[in-house]
Amino acid sequence: MTAQTLLKDFPLDRRLDRHQALGLIDIADLEPLLAAAAQRRDAAHGDRVSYSRKVFIPLTQLCRDVCHYCTFAHPPRKGERAFLTRDEVLAIAEAGKRAGCKEALFTLGDKPELRYRIAREELEALGHKTTLSYLAEMADLVWRETGLLPHLNPGLLDDEDFRALRPVSISQGIMLETISERLCGKGKPHHGSPDKIPAARIDTMKRAGEHAVPFTSGILIGIGETREERIDSLLALRDLNDAHGHIQEIIVQNFRPKPGTLMHDVDAPTLDDHLWTIAVARLLFEPEMNIQAPPNLSPGALQQLVGAGINDWGGVSPVTPDHVNPEAPWPHLEELARATAGAGKLLTERLAIYPSHARHALKWVDQKMRTPLYNLIDADGWPRSDSWCPGRQDAPPAADAALVKPSIPARARFDIQAILDKAQDGALLGEAEIVRLFRARGNDFSAVCQAADELRRRVNGDVVSYVVTRNINYTNICYFKCQFCAFSKGKLSENLRGRPYDIGMDEVARRVSEAWDRGASEVCMQGGIHPSYTGQKYLDICEAVRGAVPQIHLHAFSPLEVSQGAQTLGLPVAEFLGRLQAAGLKSLPGTAAEILDDEVREHLCADKINTQQWLDVMRAAHGLGLRSTATIMFGHIDRYENWARHLMRVRDLQIETGGFTEFVPLPFVHMEAPIYLKGRSRPGPTFREAVLMHAVARLALNPHITNIQASWVKLGPEGVRHCLNAGVNDLGGTLMDESISRSAGASFGQEMTPQQMERMIVSAGRLPRLRNTLYGNAGAEIRERAFAAASAREAGAPVLQVGGVH
């Protein structure tokens, strides 16, 4: 097979084998090779080329090695310290922090104490025996004091070293440089450098994999190796990654001769040679691998590097020079963004740990480092694009807010547009397609919102509905241990808000009557799972409501309560639901869903019903003619894949039963949620993600679920206004006595009268409609009562606490 034939449509699910790669060594025309590599990169990385904003901390420039091309390391110099002091380290890190850096890159010579007495003496004065132990202390200091995430390049490590350094670093790295032992021979660049022996470096990388350390590595080209040796080096890295999955990037670095080194007169590799190597690396690895080339080592050729298949520029510092290549300054970020855009790509900031590994922090990040990481990332492992949080009175971030409804129609990239067309036609989207929509940014984000808005207009017109309802949470005592819940008052939340309560049936009846008098057509009832509650309690609640106001719609009991109620009475779920229905239950809230994916539930709410059980309760309820809502609570430890699966599971059940009335995204309110306070979750979705959840739900559930609701308690009026332009046609309830969101710290849950609700809807250019629970019109009598009660309240009557949909 010729090289051209091999490269034409090289399958994404295959990688070059050694024989195929060797066949490319003498390829005369680079174009097909570069095109195949770029196409493969695009399939996995789209239009992004990433970089990490870093500050470079050269802890020591003494090294026991003597690599012939290196100017970073030097022997001890008179009057110069061997190590940066604590104050110096911190000063550099703080300067980086001020310049917006998120990575502290510790680069240092290899174990200089084994070669130089001054290194041993300084370490002793610093209270350490080894460079690595001083490094651990400095990395710990930097992230604690500045929040910068340390990335460590300390050379060869053993198991004990990894155990010490993993808890103080977000990622680590070592360049393989080459697998060729030949280059350690006399007269060769690695002669006399024990740390450059390939087997030793491979051993370090293998241990990194065993310790689950996200790792960067790569090759250095132009130091005397052959192309065949480059291929073997890349294959060695591939084998390591196949075994452990820890290699998050492959750097293809080009040697540059430096004055004052033994290799000062050796020619640098040509640009074509560099491009060839990048392209071959891209084809040797799966498309998702991150392939990097340092931008400062190829000035004037950045677009060609992108054309050869890289998707990353590595760390770029706005503060410190590249101490390894001091003669080659980093380009300004504006210049890098321009060059990247010139190559048709979008320069995008990442963290030192790549999104691929940050998304799976439980596996790849030490527990100690997860807290700073969670505060910095979105659900896809990228740096958060804003500091907006649901439930707080933050104004939506201007940049993303402006994208929700841009003045001119946005054009999506080809692949996104194809998914949008499919969704608008009512075809079923798969997991990868839904995830792709959640990844939309910039123009693509605008296009997704616009497509959802257009679909909403087609399905619902300009009407925005709402319901007058009262939430009654009968107890906040609960024996479940949901990690996100500040509402329950089990041991987990003892010190959080308020005293435990468990209201009696008289109080239930009183609140129901009061709600009716104030114009509520519905009471929404749910609560903690009190250890003394059995299914009989839920039946009693139904009777109490019916006894108080027979006409009011009883919307009550999450699938968890139904499941627990059935179990405590020893009844099948369907039979218990039938009894509740006979006692007056009319519909169910679709709460306790959180994320319908057990991968998340086992960490978020391990003792709660699982995904299948939630779906089974809903299936049984729908089978009895009891309709329900469906919710998703997102933005904590979940990923886009989990969101996609949740949407698909809800959609598939809806196709089967048709029982869901609406879909309600509930952004995670973190402020007083135990999981966040313990440093084990993100602080909710970003604004872009919160808006996208509504838009993508509109598209992915089309045409099966036609009502998409926004929670004003979690989003605030401004957030709701943007969601109304992204697929939303319902704003849920007005008159509530809701304590669940407020327990988690939400501050919007004060009051929303029907008048205010309608003003909000009209100000968004839409038409308000007061509905009942099942989306019929509420009727004139209800409307009159609701508006009159609200007016009376404005005139001084007691105010009911108003919250939001749980």
Q: What is the contact surface with ligand SF4 in residues (CB under 6 A)?
A: 478, 480, 482, 485, 487-488, 528-529, 560
Q: Whose Cβ is closer to ligand SF4: residue 445's or residue 533's? A: 533
Closer residue to ligand SF4 in complex, CB, 50/526: 526
Q: How far is the CB of 489 from ligand SF4 (least distance, A)?
A: 9
Return the number of the residue (310 or 486) whose C-beta is nearest ligand SF4: 486
Run of H or E residues at 18: helix 18-22
- Quote the least distance from Cβ 674 to ligand SF4, whole Å: 9
Q: How far is the CB of 529 from ligand SF4 (least distance, A)?
A: 5
- Tell me how far, at minimum, the Cβ of 592 lies from ligand SF4, in Å: 7
Nearer to ligand SF4, 597 or 641 (CB): 597
Q: How far is CA 786 from CA 215, 549, 553, 760, 806, in A?
A: 61, 16, 15, 17, 22
As to burial, measured by CB atoms within 10 angstroms (0-12 exposed, 13-18 middle, 19+ buried), residue 326 is exposed
In the bound complex, what is the minimum distance in angstroms from residue 669's beta carbon to ligand SF4? 13
d(CA 65, CA 116): 11
CB atoms within 10 A of CB 315: 23
Decide whether 45 or 806 has the Cβ nearer to ligand SF4. 806
Give 180 or 488: the residue with its C-beta nearer to ligand SF4: 488
Beta carbons of 18 and 67 less than 8 angstroms apart: no
- For ligand SF4, the closer CB: 480 or 538: 480
Q: Which two tokens stand for residue 205?
A: 């990388």
Contact 805, 555 (CB under 8 A): no
Closest CA to 707 of 766, 658, 651, 660: 660
* C-alpha distance from residue 541 to each of 104, 554, 566, 662 (Å): 57, 10, 15, 25
DSSP 751-778: ---HHHHHHHHHHTT-EEEEE-TTSSB-
Euclidean distance between CA atoms 678 and 483, whole angstroms: 10
Residue reference for tokens 């019916």: 546
* Identity of the residue, 215 or 484, whose beta carbon is nearer to ligand SF4 in the bound complex: 484
User: Between the CA atoms of 674, 675, 679 and 680, what dihedral angle is there, to the nearest 10 degrees?
Assistant: 170
Question: CB 148 → ligand SF4: shortest distance, Å?
Answer: 35
- Minimum distance from residue 491 beta carbon to ligand SF4 (Å): 11
What is the nearest approach in angstroms of ligand SF4 to the Cβ of residue 479?
8
Residue 221 or 618 with smaller CB distance to ligand SF4? 618
Task: Write down the least CB distance from residue 634 to ligand SF4, Å.
Answer: 15
| Cβ pair 778, 521 in contact under 8 A | yes
Nearer to ligand SF4, 301 or 740 (CB): 740
Lookup result for tokens 């105010």? 799
Q: What is the rounded CA–CA span in Å between residue 393 and residue 374?
A: 21
CA 180/CA 229 separation, integer angstroms: 6
Question: Hey, what are 24's tokens?
Answer: 């490319």
Residue closer to ligand SF4 by CB (options 320, 558) is: 558
CA distances from 514 to 27, 473, 621, 782, 799 (A): 82, 15, 28, 14, 12
CB of 750 to ligand SF4, least distance (A): 22
722 HSE (CA, 13 A, CB side):
25
- With beta carbons less than 8 A apart as the criterion, state whether 737 and 730 touch: no
In the complex with ligand SF4, the residue whose CB is nearer, 93 or 560, is 560
CA–CA gap between residue 158 and residue 203 (Å, rounded): 9
Q: Which is nearer to ligand SF4, 224 or 528 (CB)?
A: 528
Least distance to ligand SF4, CB of residue 478, Å: 3
Question: Shortest distance, CB of residue 329 to ligand SF4, whole angstroms?
Answer: 53
The pair of structure tokens assigned to 553 is: 């719609």
Query: Which H or E element spans position 312?
Result: strand 312-316
Please report how close the Cβ of residue 604 comes to ligand SF4 at its closest, in angstroms: 10
Contact of 803 with 740, CB cutoff 8 Å: yes
